[in-house]
Amino acid sequence: MKGRLGWMIGSMVLLSVGGVACDGRRETAMTGDKIVKTNEEWCGILTPEQYRILREKGTETAFTGKYYNHHEEGAYVCAACGEPLFSSLHKFDSGTGWPSYWQPAQKGAVKEAADDSHGMRRVEVLCASCGSHLGHVFTDGPEPTGLRYCINSVALDFKPAHPKKK
Ligand SMILES: [Zn+2]
């Protein structure tokens, strides 16, 4: 009995340390999303890192993502559902270590929500189609909008405008 209890506690510790919460504890789907999946379904689609950021509102470490220093022409789509979210036309070098855009690809591609976590007042940016967490928007961006959409590379996939011919 004692051995079994120890094993149970051990696996609970492992789960919380591992941070991969594919156990359906939390329902992150929001009303109004066009694409609604359970945590279990997202878990099967996304990598653990994508799941942590897109569905659990995590943040990738600055200067580690694949798109912060990426300058090809094309579209940045949602890594979870494939909807076009941002364009290389609106991308700029913010120096923050995260891909930054001064506006979404189209009005309505993303939605915003107040985020008071970590003792800060920030505005969270979410995919309007599937509700996945993308990053935050700040008001210290360049003209013409003055906005800086600070997005996790992990939340994005890139579709080049001029695919390289084989
Ligand atoms: Zn999406």
- Per annotation, catalytic residue among 43, 81, 130, 150: 150
Q: How far is the CA of 155 from the centre of ligand 1 (A)?
A: 9
Number of domains in the chain: 1
Q: Are 34 and 43 in contact (CB under 8 A)?
A: no
CATH code where residue 33 lies: 2.170.150.20
- Catalytic, 150? Answer yes
Q: Are 123 and 111 in contact (CB under 8 A)?
A: no
Q: How far is the CA of 158 from the centre of ligand 1 (A)?
A: 13
Q: Tell me the sheet residues that pair with 124.
A: 113, 136
Task: Classify 131 as helix, strand or coil.
Answer: coil
Distance CA 79, CA 40 (A): 17
Q: How far is the CA of 60 from the centre of ligand 1 (A)?
A: 17
pTM score: 0.81
Residue 5 placed within a domain: no
Q: Before 144, cis peptide (omega within 30)?
A: yes
Structural domain including 140 reads: 24-160
* Predicted local confidence at residue 11, as pLDDT: 47
| pLDDT mean by block of 10 residues, the chain; 166 residues | 52 43 53 84 94 97 97 98 98 98 97 95 97 98 98 98 81
Burial class (CB in 10 A: 0-12, 13-18, 19+), 84: middle
Q: Tell me the sheet residues that pair with 148.
A: 138
* Predicted local confidence at residue 30, as pLDDT: 56
Task: Classify 7 as helix, strand or coil.
Answer: helix
Residue 15 placed within a domain: no
Q: How far is the CA of 83 from the centre of ligand 1 (A)?
A: 6
